């Protein structure tokens, strides 16, 4: 019974740990990749992540790709006169020596044309394309609809 409980705890904590993984490409560090559950595949999904540029040259996120969606795009939430819109972003600047978060209420990945509904605990890959650093693929964990991001405190982050 003790082994069963340990195995169950490990399986349930695996998706959260994936959201806390760190991937590096050149001077860029990509971490905390996550998404939220969707209500069916007909609704768009979202993609959030943190990107740190430890270098001395600016870079930019210029695109995302994933087998989870037919049309993944970069968007920015903009509020003007109390009305929110989410226009397409051609690129997202990643200034030298700074961090950029794709997060609720700001820049984010919009996953249009989902191949299947995103369910809590699922995961899927997203390839980020940077202007200078090139491409890197991260594993994205799907969190609850109410989530505000992964809890990486227990993952050593």
pLDDT at 74: 97
Residue 73 belongs to some domain of the structure: yes
Question: Could you tell me if 24 and 52 are in contact, meaning their C-beta atoms sit under 8 angstroms apart?
Answer: no
**pLDDT, tens digit, 9 for 90 and up, residues 62-98:** 999 999 999 999 999 888 898 888 888 999 999 999 9
Q: Which of 96, 42, 37, 89 is nearest to 70 (CA)?
A: 42
Stated pTM of the model:
0.83
pLDDT tens for each residue of 95-108: 999 999 999 999 99
| CATH label of the domain that carries residue 81 | 2.60.40.1890
**CA–CA separation, 154 vs 157, rounded Å?**
7
d(CA 32, CA 21): 7
Q: Kindly give, in sequence order, each residue whose CB lies less than 8 Å from that of residue 117, ignoring residues fewer than 6 positions away.
A: 37, 38, 39, 40, 41
Query: What's the domain count of the chain?
Result: 1
Percent of the chain past pLDDT 90, that is, above it, reads 68
């Amino acid at each position: 019974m003790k082994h069963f409980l340990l195995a169950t705890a490990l399986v349930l904590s695996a998706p959260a740990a994936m959201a806390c993984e760190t991937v590096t490409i050149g001077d860029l560090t990509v971490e905390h990749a996550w998404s939220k559950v969707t209500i069916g595949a007909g609704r768009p999904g979202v993609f959030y992540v943190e990107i740190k540029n430890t270098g001395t040259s600016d870079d930019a996120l210029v695109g995302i790709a994933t087998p989870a969606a037919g049309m993944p795009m970069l968007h920015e939430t903009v509020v003007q006169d109390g009305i929110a819109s989410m226009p397409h972003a051609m690129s997202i600047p990643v200034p030298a020596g700074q961090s950029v978060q794709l997060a609720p209420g700001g820049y984010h990945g919009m996953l249009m044309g989902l191949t299947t509904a995103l369910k809590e605990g699922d995961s899927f890959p997203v390839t980020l394309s940077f202007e200078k650093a090139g491409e890197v693929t991260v594993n994205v964990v799907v969190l609850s609809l109410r989530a505000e991001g992964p809890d990486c405190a227990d993952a050593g982050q």
